């Protein structure tokens, strides 16, 4: 979509953001291993912690199903989020903003400027994590709230605020069995 402002044209690049709950696959996570690449399957079997294994499986299943050129994965607690775009690199991070913490010390430890509020800390922290995953200077940052979770998406190009879509891993497994 092109928006004209005077002599300047900004191209808004379509961005998709998906969220999934690991509880949606926790019954038999090994059923999903067959849907992963051989490399991802091998990596998944090496995780010692059950929750981390589920996060990995679900994140890579989401990336494989979305099929965009650029993707980024983040996870926190039971949620996995993926940002994807066809024409621009992306980075994503998610944090639970209901967790109380010493945000001044947290910012200092992370090498970030001291924020004024806990929520400001979470914004700066998620943006720094998403930008690290982007591995390039970000030109655009957007935030989305989901329950008590703040999701930050960054990109090297301008994009509009994406809608958060729920990813249904069970439908992928059901379709594969047919």
Please indicate, yes or no, if residue 48 is contained in any of the structural domains.
Answer: yes
Locate all alpha helices (DSSP H) within 22-84, ordered by sequence.
38-45, 50-66
- Whether 114 maps to a domain, the answer reads yes
- Residue 55 within a domain: yes
Q: Do residues 55 and 13 touch, judged by C-beta distance below 8 A?
A: no
How many domains does the chain fold into? 1
Q: Which two tokens stand for residue 126?
A: 């998620």
Domain span at residue 124? 13-162
pTM assigned to the model: 0.87
What are the pLDDT digits (tens) for 54-107? 999 999 999 988 888 999 999 999 999 999 998 899 999 999 999 998 988 888
Average pLDDT over residues 40-53: 92
On whether residue 178 sits in a domain, the answer given is no
Report the CATH number that the domain containing residue 51 is assigned in CATH: 3.90.470
The answer to whether 131 and 154 are in contact (CB under 8 A) is yes
Write the pLDDT tens digit of every residue in 134-160.
999 888 999 999 999 999 999 999 888
Q: Is residue 6 one of the residues assigned to a domain?
A: no
Asked if residue 169 has pLDDT above 90, the reply is: no
Instruction: Note whether residue 99 is domain-resident.
Output: yes
Residue 171 belongs to some domain of the structure: no
Residue 4: inside a domain, yes or no? no
């Amino acid at each position: 979509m092109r928006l004209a402002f005077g002599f300047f044209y900004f191209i808004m690049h379509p961005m998709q953001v998906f969220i999934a709950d690991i509880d949606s696959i926790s019954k038999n996570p090994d059923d999903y291993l067959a849907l992963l690449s051989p490399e991802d399957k091998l990596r998944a079997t090496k995780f010692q912690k059950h929750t981390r294994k589920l996060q990995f499986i679900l994140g890579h299943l989401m990336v494989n199903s979305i099929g965009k050129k650029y993707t980024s994965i983040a996870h926190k607690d039971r949620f996995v989020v993926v940002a994807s775009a066809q024409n621009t690199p992306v980075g994503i991070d998610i944090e639970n903003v209901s967790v109380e913490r010493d945000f001044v010390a947290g910012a200092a430890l992370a090498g970030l400027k001291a924020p004024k509020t806990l929520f400001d800390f979470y914004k700066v922290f998620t943006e720094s994590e998403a930008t690290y995953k982007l591995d390039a200077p970000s030109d655009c940052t957007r935030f989305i709230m989901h329950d008590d979770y703040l999701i930050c998406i960054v990109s090297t190009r301008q994009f509009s605020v994406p809608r958060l879509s729920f990813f249904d891993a069970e439908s992928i497994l059901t379709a594969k069995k047919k």
